[in-house]
Amino acid sequence: MTRAFSGLGIRHAGHFTRLKWHRLRRSFNDPLFSAEVMAEGFRLGASTELDLRVRSDGGFVVLHDEELEGETNGHGLIRQAAADDIRPLRLTAGGHHPILSEDLASLLQTAHPEALLQFDMKDELAVIGERGMAHLTEYFAGAGSSIIISGHDLDLILAVKEQLPSLKRGIDPTDKLIEIYRENGLKAVEEDLRADLAGRTEPDTIYLAWPLILRAAAEGLDLIGLCRDAGKLVDAWTFNLQSPDEGFDADEAKHFTALMGLKPDQITTDEPIATERAWAAIDG
């Protein structure tokens, strides 16, 4: 009998690691940011992620790039387009309409209690402004533990803490930590990360690139353990298989095994089902 894989997570050595569906994908065969896949994730209680860009009217749209032509058949900056300009557009990959934040709020009402949706905010607070924050408050303040808002801009995360205190918060210091490592070494990385963990944003989850996690571990610094000791969860991003149908190659198996040994709370991937299946093939 063929084993069914859901792509929800992996249990290993007494620890459960969630698999987060990056850009609302169960596989690279899924189109980017599909409402259909999101609905399936909500039904199953999956951890999913999408990108948000602010519109000219203060609302948001689920897109990654700054300009509409990056992912849709539209043109111009997203922050200069209103909902009525964006709603008729279609994504170039998949042909479906973009998801607006108003629609997203409605879909969230169907979510399984264990479902977690990450809003990865691609604009800074200065761009989002008061109208954008008011929109988030109006539509998502009551979502509670179903949403985690993340971003590179700590001012934005601090604003979320103050205006939407019931939502989870995440920060991604990866780029900064890599630069610190190059210039000042691993001890400086540890000191800076400790400062972020104790910072005013009070994040629930720390997003760290998996190669950084493994490099630090090889040199004696357990970044995941450091975050765990501070009461934070860690998402290791983004681990993708080169050949999803074939499973891990030798290097992928080595890296993923090392990563699982550090017990991350979550691993981001565009191939959650294939990753779960690949791990089962080597871990039994």
Give the separation between CA 201 and CA 125, rounded to whole angstroms: 14
The CA distance from 258 to 260, in Å, is 6
Q: How confident is the model at residue 110 (pLDDT cuts 50, 70, 90)?
A: confident
- For residue 1, pLDDT over 50 is answered with no
Question: Residue 144 above 90 pLDDT?
Answer: no
pLDDT in tens, 2-46: 568 999 999 999 999 999 999 999 999 999 999 999 999 999 999
- Model confidence pLDDT, tens digit, residues 218-265: 999 999 999 999 999 999 999 999 999 999 999 999 999 999 999 999
Q: Token digits for 226?
A: 């450091």
Lowest mean pLDDT among 19-23, 203-207, 237-241, 280-284: 280-284
Q: With a cut of 70, say whether residue 91 has pLDDT above it.
A: yes
Q: Which residues lie across from 262 on neighbouring strands?
A: none
